[in-house]
Amino acid sequence: MSVVMKFGGSSVADAECMRQVATLVERALPEAPVVVLSAMGKTTDALFRAARAALEGRLDVAREEAKAVAARHHEAARGLFDGQPPEELERGLAQRFDELDRIFQGLALLGELSPRSMDAIAARGELLSTTLFAAYFRARSPHSQWFDAREVVRTDSAHGSAQPRVELVRALVRGKLAPLLRAGRAIVTQGYIGADESGATTTLGRGGSDWSASLLGAALGAREVQIWTDVEGVYTADPRLAARAEPIAELSFAEAAELAAFGAKVLHPATIQPAVEADIPVTVRHTLRPAGRFTTIRGQSSGARAVTAIAMRGPVHVLTVTSSRMLAQAGFLARLFEVFRERGVSVDLVATAEVSVSLTVEADAPLDDLVAAISPFARCDVSRDRAIVAVVGERLRNTPGVSARALDALASFHVEMLSMGANEINLSVVLERSAAPAALAALHARFFERAS
């Protein structure tokens, strides 16, 4: 049974980082690892800048950006091969950059940058990093090989945010990739990229490399999908706000999704859903601390704790809508939420009373427009620059006393709104944004630090 190992841009940022990745992959060779790589750090952003410059007719600027990207890759190649990269690798890298230059020339000539062209450009980052790493790793493990993810990651044609065709991916993986797997061999492939039915390159959008790893892991029935990054998993709180925060040993998928909604940036839960649905554990590990702590994400948590983490998101705004018409009147809330639907505004927390309802919206919501639309049928008061602090845990609903302990920890804070999430795995409070970091620290101390 194979293991899928995904490494992000910071893990393959230079020759030293790639050597560390190679060491980790080498240790996993008995498990026939599938190695999924992102582009070298900052490469994708540079390619986007170059594409925009070429579109504007500034071909010289585009070429300078590409030249800088090329220099980083050639420098890494020299570092990996003690100053003497194989001619085959040098030719391979040069070919990738020649292809890129031809694309930029076309953009400058036509003055048009389609989403399809942007995907073709963005994909170069992953193709470059894997070309480089595969060449180096073959020097350490001659039977290992490079594999083009576009052969198996079949998607729709929504360039920039393509959706995988999961059943087709599974069939292609089992037909083309699985037969290559064997103990002692690593398969090096790309995250983030795929291809549509016509063969055009596509990209998966936000969290695309994690998604690629999860899709491949699910299709292969892997033992584990490993997400290697620059942190030791998901923490009990932001360590910048709670100095004694620690990695969480195990998370449920629902808890991971809730924490991501509150700003945890380690991964986006939707991207690991294929693996979770296939009952394959996903672990989040630190590339430079492979023997350190890590987080395992499963469909259901087996832990007995009531609270898993404390999270915070802000700024948000609170709208309090008041009207005597709410009292025993059917349809009032439907009319109110129609205002938000028409403007494409997502409502997060909601708390209701007999004649009022309070709700939170993101900082970029069109507040003046919302107030104007609500005013004909209710009074609408706005509290700006607030933050949400949440106590997250899958067993909140079944653990008496959690709310009392949370409110006790917040006794010295002015809590403006209190809400239990609809899925009952988060207890959220709203308060002024300036007070939120201290409130988070107080909650973390109450639930995690007194017992230590």
Q: What is the pLDDT of residues 104-144, one digit of tens each?
A: 999 998 888 999 999 999 999 999 999 999 999 999 999 99
CB neighbours of residue 102 within 10 Å: 10
Q: Are 145 and 134 in contact (CB under 8 A)?
A: yes
Q: How far apart are CA 342 and CA 16, in angstroms?
A: 52
pLDDT band at 452 (very low <50, low <70, confident <90, very high): very low
For residues 268 and 260, give the distance between their C-alpha atoms in angstroms, rounded to a whole number. 6
Give the residue among 363, 333, 332 at the shortest CA–CA distance from 348: 363
76/114 Cα distance (integer angstroms): 31
Q: Are 322 and 353 in contact (CB under 8 A)?
A: no
Interstrand relation of 34-37 and 3-7 (parallel, antiparallel or unpaired) = parallel
Q: Which two tokens stand for residue 324?
A: 């005597």
Q: How far apart are CA 232 and CA 228, in angstroms?
A: 9
Amino acid type, 283: T
With residue 16 as reference, give the H or E element that holds it.
Answer: helix 15-27
Concatenating the DSSP letter of every residue in 357-389 gives: EEEEEETTS-HHHHHHHHTTTSEEEEEEEEEEE
Residue 123 DSSP SS3: helix
Distance, CA of 363 to CA of 188 (rounded, Å): 41
How far is the C-alpha of 278 from the C-alpha of 258, rounded, in Å?
Answer: 20
Q: Which residues contact 179 (CB under 8 A, 6 or more apart)?
A: none
Helix (H) or strand (E) holding 282: strand 282-286
Token look-up 């997060």 returns 348
Q: Which of 198-212, 376-390, 392-406 has the lowest mean pLDDT?
A: 392-406
Given a cut of 60, is residue 451 above it in pLDDT?
A: no
Cα radius of gyration rounded to whole Å, the chain: 25
Residue 422: per-residue pLDDT: 56
d(CA 206, CA 187): 24
pLDDT tens-digit profile of 180-204?
Answer: 999 999 999 999 999 999 999 999 9
Task: Assign 354 a pLDDT band (cuts: 50, 70, 90).
Answer: confident
The span from the CA of 390 to the CA of 444, in Å, is 11
Residue 229 neighbours by CB distance under 10 Å: 21
- For the stretch 276-319, pLDDT in tens is 889 999 999 999 999 999 999 988 776 667 899 999 998 999 99
Amino acid code (one letter) for 413: F
pTM, to two decimals = 0.86
